[in-house]
């Protein structure tokens, strides 16, 4: 497996209908993070981002966190909890962290936050996920998309 084709729906830069998200990495904390703003083409209910899009983003940020351990992650299970709607046009913060790493399996937590509107800097959880991933040893360098 490789990410070299850059065709991933969430992070692939050459996918013409993809989200084209970019992630930052902290290898010491086994963490990936990023930002996203979704458009009307990503909505479910009027003005609200579709939950399936949010689940895909959570899955991807968790898999990218696992990349920091020099492993490729294949999703085997993901559980998403939606706490509050993400509005179309609203910027959100994305975070994925590895919570367990074994020889062939990893677990991770993903969170989508928004900043409080009062300017306090408080981060509000919009949705979160827990995921389990099968680890496939990379055949070449494990570079993020």
Task: Give the pLDDT band (50/70/90) at residue 142.
Answer: low
Domain ranges of the chain: 23-136
Give pTM, 2 decimals.
Answer: 0.89
Architecture of domain 23-136: Roll (3.10)
Long-range contact pairs involving 86-89 (C-beta distance under 8 Å, separation at least 24): 86/38, 86/48, 86/49, 86/54, 86/112, 86/114, 86/126, 86/127, 87/47, 87/48, 87/49, 88/38, 88/39, 88/40, 88/42, 88/43, 88/47, 88/48, 88/49, 89/37, 89/38, 89/39
Higher pLDDT pick, 15 / 30: 30
The SS3 of residue 55 is: helix
H or E element that contains 127: strand 123-136
pLDDT, tens digit (0-9, with 9 covering 90-100), for 65-107:
999 999 989 999 999 999 999 999 999 999 999 999 998 999 9
């Amino acid at each position: 497996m490789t990410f070299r084709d850059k065709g991933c729906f969430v992070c692939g830069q050459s996918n013409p209908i993809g989200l084209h998200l970019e992630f930052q990495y902290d290898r010491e904390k086994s963490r990936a993070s990023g930002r996203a703003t979704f458009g009307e083409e990503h909505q479910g209910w009027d003005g609200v981002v579709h939950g399936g899009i949010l689940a895909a983003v959570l899955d991807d940020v968790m898999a990218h966190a696992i990349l920091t351990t020099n492993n490729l992650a294949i999703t085997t299970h993901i559980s998403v909890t939606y706490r509050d709607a993400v509005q179309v046009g609203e910027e959100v913060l994305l975070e994925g962290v590895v919570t367990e790493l074994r020889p062939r399996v990893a677990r991770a937590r993903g969170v989508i936050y928004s900043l409080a509107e009062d300017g306090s800097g408080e981060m509000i959880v919009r949705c979160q996920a827990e995921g389990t991933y099968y680890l496939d040893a990379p055949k070449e360098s494990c570079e993020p998309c």
